[in-house]
Structures are given as structure tokens and as C-alpha cells.
Amino acid sequence: MSSEATAVWSECLRVIEQHVNEQSYSTWFKPINPVRLEGSSLTIQVPSQFFYEWLEDNYVQVLKLAIKSILGPNGRLEYAVVVDRGNSQNQPYVVSYPQSNSSSPNKKVPEKTDHKSPFEMQSLNSDMLLQSNLNPNYTFSTYIEGDCNRLARSAGFAVATKPGITSFNPLMVYGGVGLGKTHLVQAIGNEIKNSPEEKFVLYVSSEKFVNQFMDSIKDGNVKSFTNFYMQVDVLIIDDIQFLAGKDRTQEMFFHIFNHLHQSKKQIIMTSDCPPKDLKGLEERLLSRFKWGLTADLQMPDFETRVAIIRRKMQSEGIYIPDDVIEYLAYTVDTNVRELEGVMISLIAHASLNRVEIDLTLAKTIMKNIVKDIETEVGIDYIQKTVSEYFDIKIDDLKAKTRKKEIVTARQVAMYFSKEFTNHSLKSIGYHFGGRDHSTVIHAVQTVNDLIETDTTFRNSVNDLKKKFKMRSY
Ligand SMILES: Nc1ncnc2c1ncn2[C@@H]1O[C@H](COP(=O)(O)OP(=O)(O)OP(=O)(O)O)[C@@H](O)[C@H]1O
């Protein structure tokens, strides 16, 4: 190792350190050894082909920045990859970056020094234990529990406590966009990684897995790719639906899956739908997915959404009043990512314009984000909400039907129209199929009586009232 190379590399590290987070820095840059400096070309040694590819896939810009700022515009980086060819002589081979004839920092295949696969997989080393790709903020403590995720969360926790040993292997978590799949499976990974047992936990998106596999075919490194994945103790593979129609990758994944499962290694997967609806995946894979536990995530209910907003705001050190929290939780009922997006807009707006976060600001933001949002409670909205709540058709509220459940729903809708709108009794009657004002008075009285005497009915009215109140803030 030349002292010049060491000096240049430590300067580069100083640049790199400012552009990557602490974990990435210690995982991907600390293990690198500077080997030599020739003119403005620095050669660094990396522990494996996989490591080299990872750097090139994920950190090429920051490496380029570091090299150019320390060695000038002609600065070049070359890699020496430690190759274990199954004998005792580890001979590094060298790949240059940027490649000659190419100004772009594309990932390139190291020159092959023989006709066989250029290297065999290295044995598991301590660096690999760090290569997890986990976001440290995705933990169980930041994952709010609710009815929407209870099964998945507790199964995940069981898996985190005894990876590979419970019957939840594989664990498959599925659910719609932005409902917390990635957060949950990474929480499992972080929990295992932070336990005293040294486990090699690896999180990878299916897309990345496919690309790595394709590259390994192109580069003649399939064996190394397979061996790498077969050494993992806990494999977390996200968005497995992405493997649909990719037959060769599925076949490779099938072998890796079998190997890991037989070795009692934990496999955790996510998908946007249950295994039975995964189209374009081989039957033998699908049947294996069902060996363990499949758990779904639903959209969090109102109370869980409130808790998610509170936690998020606490973690940002921001206080927002309860009525704003409830307004957001009520209004954004699509997915958690969208809810977070609205919170971020709100915080950004308040801090840029130096104003307090209050209901007026929240409403303005929501109007900009959700263009067609109605913030007023009108008769139409009451009819829609009440009919959905009682699971009847809106038209029935206006029709002549005398079926008991329809009459009750109609009376409830009239009652709320009186409470939340400025319509006259006559006008309300008109909106309910041309009934007269005495029918509306009777409806209001009946609802008041039932609230006094019937607990179930009272709870229903209270549920609905909460919705309307939220809307009429
Ligand atoms: N129960 C929860 N508690 C706290 N935060 C949550 C919860 N569920 C989701 N989130 C947050 O919502 C955001 C979206 O979650 P995540 O990315 O895990 O969703 P996903 O289901 O993997 O989405 P996609 O389908 O797009 O891959 C993240 O910031 C996550 O932290």
C-alpha cells in the first residue's frame, strides 16, 4: 500500500463522508483499501465483485465527485477486486473507472483473467454482516400498531425474535401501495440485526434482485450471485410481484429459496396482492410462498391514523393542535404515504411562510393537494355518507320505500341535514323525495328518542356525527 495512495484516499473519504450517511459510510467505504497512485489514477481494493458492483450501482456519483475534487478533472479510479479462485492465492484483478472510451461512469465488467467465472464467492466476512440495506428509521418502535396491521406486526415480531425457527417461514406481507409493507419488513430486519447474534440480514427490492441477476449473466458471475444470496441468514425481498414474467430470475430465486429454507434461514417477502392473485409467477414458487404465513396490511382506521400523525410530528419535534391532527386523519384515507406527504407539505408551508399550523392552513393545503375536496357538509354529502354507513342506496333515501332499515337511515340523514346545514325544514324535505316539513320534524324527534333509548343506535349516530364534524370544521 503506498503512502501517497493512502493520503489521497483519506482526502476522498473526507468528501465522501459528507455525502453519505454514517451507516453507508462504514459499510461501503471503510472496508476499502487504497493500493496505489499512478499519476492521477488511484487504485482501491474492494473485498468482492459484489461489493464493487454495489459501489458502482449506488455510489458512483459520490466516488466521482471525491476523485475529481481531490485529483482534478483527470482523476481516475481503478478497482482491484480480491478474487478467490478456490486456491490459496488471492490475486486481485483490476478494473478501471471511468472505463476507457467512455466518459460515463457506467458499471463495467472486470476483465476476465481466465475463461472460467472470474471468481468464486468469498467466504462470509464481517463486512457482509453490515451490508443490509436497511433504513435505521424503520423499526418496530416507529411502526404504529392498529387493527389494520396487528397480525402482520405480531408475526413479524415473532420472526424477528426467532428468525428461521418459527413456522412463519416464509413470511409474506401483502397490501396496497403505501400501507407500510417496506417499513414492517425492514423493522424485522433491523430488530434481528440489532440482536446480539450476528446474522447476515439482507434487504433487496425484487427489481434490484432482477437487475443483479441479469448483470451476473452478462458478466458470467451467476455462481457468485447465487453463492452470495445463499449465505444470507435473513433474506428480505420487497415487491415480489415484480418477478412476474421473469422466468429465469424466478428459477434462480426458486433455488435460492429452497436452499435458504432447507438451511432454516428466514425468508421475508412483500407483495402488492395475496399469493393467489400473483399473476405470472410459477406455481412451484407460489406454493412455497404458502408454506409459512401470509398476512395482509389494510388502510389504518381513523384512530391509528391519528396515532401515526402524532408520532411523526413528535419525531419532527413539531406541535400541531388536535383539531388539525383529526382533520388530516379524517381527510386522508387513501394510504399512509399520502398522509405523510400532506404532513410534510403542512410543515414546509408553515416554516417557509413563518405561520402557525392551524386548521385554516391545513384546509388550504388540503384544497391544493386534493383538488375536489369538499369541506362543507351539504345534504348531498350527508346522504352519501349515511347511505354508505347503513349500506343502502342513496336513491332509497329519496324513494317511497317503507322498509324499516331504510326509514331509519332516511330519518338519520334528515336529522343531520337539520343539524349541519342551513336548509329550511321545507328544503330538507324537498331533498328527500319531496317530503313535507312535518316528516322532517318527525324524523328529528324519532332520532332524538332513539339516541336516548338505544345504545347501538346512539353509537352509530355518534360515529356519523364525528365524520360530519370533521368535515364542517
Ligand atoms: N403503521 C405505521 N406506522 C408508522 N408509519 C407507517 C405505518 N405504515 C406506514 N407508515 C409509513 O408510511 C410510509 C409508506 O410506507 P411503506 O413505504 O412501508 O409502504 P409500502 O406498503 O411498502 O409501499 P409500496 O407499496 O409503495 O412499496 C413510510 O414512511 C412508513 O414509515
ipTM metric: 0.99
Which range of 132-141, 171-180, 224-233 scores highest in mean pLDDT? It is: 171-180
Assign 307 a pLDDT band (cuts: 50, 70, 90): very high
Work out the pLDDT band at 423, boundaries 50, 70, 90: confident
The continuous run of DSSP H or E covering 231 comes out as none
Per DSSP, the three-state class of 473 is: coil
pLDDT of residue 324: 92
Relative to the CA of 144, which ligand 1 atom is closest? 3
* Closest-lying ligand 1 atom to the alpha carbon of residue 304: 1
Same domain, 391 and 361: no
Read off the C-alpha cell for 160.
424477528
What is the 191 CA–ligand 1 centroid distance (Å)? Answer: 17
Are the beta carbons of 254 and 282 closer than 8 angstroms?
Answer: yes
Q: How far is the CA of 193 from the centre of ligand 1 (A)?
A: 20
Task: List phi, psi (to 5°) of 305.
Answer: -65, -40
Let me know whether 156 and 261 are in one domain: yes
Residue having the nearest C-alpha atom to atom 1 of ligand 1? 144
Amino acid 110: pLDDT: 38
> 298 and 175 in contact (C-beta within 8 Å)?
yes
pLDDT band at 55 (very low <50, low <70, confident <90, very high): confident
Ligand 1 atom 9 nearest Cα: 180
| Main-chain dihedrals φ then ψ at residue 41, nearest 5 degrees | -115, 115
Q: Which atom of ligand 1 is nearest to the CA of 297?
A: 21
pLDDT in tens, 162-180: 999 888 999 999 999 999 9
d(CA 142, CA 324): 21
Distance 207 CA to ligand 1 centre (A): 18
Query: Which atom of ligand 1 lies at the shortest distance from residue 138's CA?
Result: 31
Kindly list the distances between the CA atom of residue 432 and the CA atoms of 359, 427, 460, in Å, as whole numbers in the listed order: 32, 9, 21
Q: Are residues 14 and 109 in the same domain?
A: yes
Q: How far is CA 302 from CA 16, 214, 221, 342, 460, in A?
A: 43, 44, 50, 16, 15
Mutate to test the pocket of ligand 1, among 182, 184, 338 (most ligand atoms within 8 A of CB): 182
The pLDDT score that the predictor gives to residue 1 is 63
| Residue 125 pLDDT greater than 50, yes or no | no
Ligand 1 atom 16: the closest Cα is on which residue? 180
| Ligand 1 pocket at CB < 6 A | 142-144, 149, 175, 177-183, 239, 272, 308, 336-337, 340
Within 10 Å of residue 455's Cβ, how many Cβ atoms?
8
What value does the mean pLDDT take over residues 12-40?
85
Shortest CA distance to 172 belongs to which of 190, 195, 188? Answer: 188
Residue 143 Cα: closest atom of ligand 1:
3
Shared domain for 367 and 235, answered yes or no, is no
Average predicted confidence (pLDDT) for the chain: 83
The protein residue whose alpha carbon is closest to atom 4 in ligand 1 is 143
Distance CA 144, CA 300 (A): 9
Q: What share of the chain is helix, strand, coil (3-state, %, to 5)?
A: 55, 10, 35
Q: Cell numbers at residue 171, please?
A: 413470511
Q: Are residues 145 and 267 in the same domain?
A: yes
Query: Taking the model in full, what pTM does it have?
Result: 0.62
275 within 8 A of 294, measured Cβ to Cβ: yes
Return the CATH number at 39.
3.30.300.180
Quick one: residue 104, left, alpha or beta (phi over 0 = left, psi -120 to 50 = alpha)?
A: beta
Question: What CATH number corresponds to the domain at position 335?
Answer: 1.10.8.60
Among protein residues, the one with the nearest Cα to ligand 1's atom 8 is: 180
Between the CA of 152 and the centroid of ligand 1 the distance, in Å, is 13
Q: Which of 342, 374, 406 is the last residue of a domain?
A: 374
pLDDT of residue 83: 52
113 three-state secondary structure = coil
Distance 299 CA to ligand 1 centre (A): 10
Q: Which residue has the higher pLDDT, 50 or 394?
A: 394
Is position 135 within any domain? no
Q: Region 236-249: what's the mean pLDDT?
A: 95
Give a yes or no: residue 95 inside a domain.
Answer: yes
Measured in degrees and rounded to the nearest 5, phi and psi for residue 92 equal -65, 145
Spatial strand order in the sheet of 33-38: 33-38, 41-46, 76-81, 93-97
Residues 6+ apart with CB under 8 A from 296: 151, 152, 173, 174, 175, 274
* Same-domain pairing of 453 and 308: no
For residue 199, how far is its CA from the centre of ligand 1 (angstroms)? Answer: 25
User: pLDDT tens, 254-306?
Assistant: 999 999 999 999 999 999 999 989 999 999 999 999 899 999 999 998 899 99
Decide the pairing of beta strands 234-238 and 201-205: parallel
Question: Do the beta carbons of residue 272 and residue 174 sit within 8 Å?
Answer: yes
Mean pLDDT score, 431-444 = 92
270 among annotated binding-site residues: no
Same-domain status, 172 and 78: no
Higher pLDDT, 203 or 31: 203
- For residue 108, pLDDT over 60 is answered with no
- Of 297, 323, 338, the domain-final residue: 297
Q: Are residues 161 and 292 in the same domain?
A: yes
User: 468 falls in which pLDDT band (50, 70, 90)?
Assistant: confident
What would the mean pLDDT of 70-88 be, rounded to a whole number?
70
Q: How confident is the model at residue 375 (pLDDT cuts 50, 70, 90)?
A: low
> What confidence score (pLDDT) does residue 240 get?
96
Decide if pLDDT at 50 tops 70.
no
Nearest CA to ligand 1 atom 29: 337
Whether 182 has a binding-site annotation, put simply, is yes
Q: Which domain holds residue 350?
A: 302-374
Residue 372 Cα, ligand 1 centroid: separation in angstroms?
A: 25
Flag whether 118 is in a domain: yes
Does residue 106 have a pLDDT over 70?
Answer: no
Classify residue 424: in a domain, yes or no: yes
pLDDT at 189: 96
- Closest-lying ligand 1 atom to the alpha carbon of residue 149: 1
CATH of the domain at 157: 3.40.50.300
pLDDT band at 100 (very low <50, low <70, confident <90, very high): very low
Distance, CA 370 to ligand 1 centroid (Å)? 20
10 and 78 fall within a common domain: yes
Share of the chain above pLDDT 90, in %: 49
Q: Are 157 and 286 contained in the same domain?
A: yes
Report which ligand 1 atom has the smallest distance to the Cα of 142.
4
Say if residue 145 is exposed, middle or buried (CB neighbours under 10 Å; 0-12, 13-18, 19+).
middle
Q: Is the pLDDT of residue 389 over 90?
A: yes
Tell me if 453 is assigned to a ligand binding site: no
Q: Are 289 and 275 in contact (CB under 8 A)?
A: yes
Number of structural domains found in the chain: 4
**Could you tell me which residue, 413 or 109, shows the higher pLDDT?**
413
The answer to whether residues 278 and 333 belong to one domain is no
Residue of the CA atom closest to atom 5 of ligand 1: 143
> Among 39-48, 81-90, 318-327, where is mean pLDDT lowest?
81-90
Q: Which residue has the cell 474492494?
A: 46
Is position 402 within any domain?
yes
Kindly state whether residue 158 falls inside one of the protein's structural domains. yes
For residues 257 and 145, membership in a common domain is answered with yes
Known binding residue 426? Answer is no
Q: Ligand 1 centroid to 472 CA: how many Å?
A: 29
Mean pLDDT of 173-202: 94
Q: Is residue 65 part of a domain?
A: yes
Q: How far apart are CA 14 and CA 41, in angstroms?
A: 18
Pick the last residue of a domain from 340, 374, 408.
Answer: 374
pLDDT at 105 over 90: no
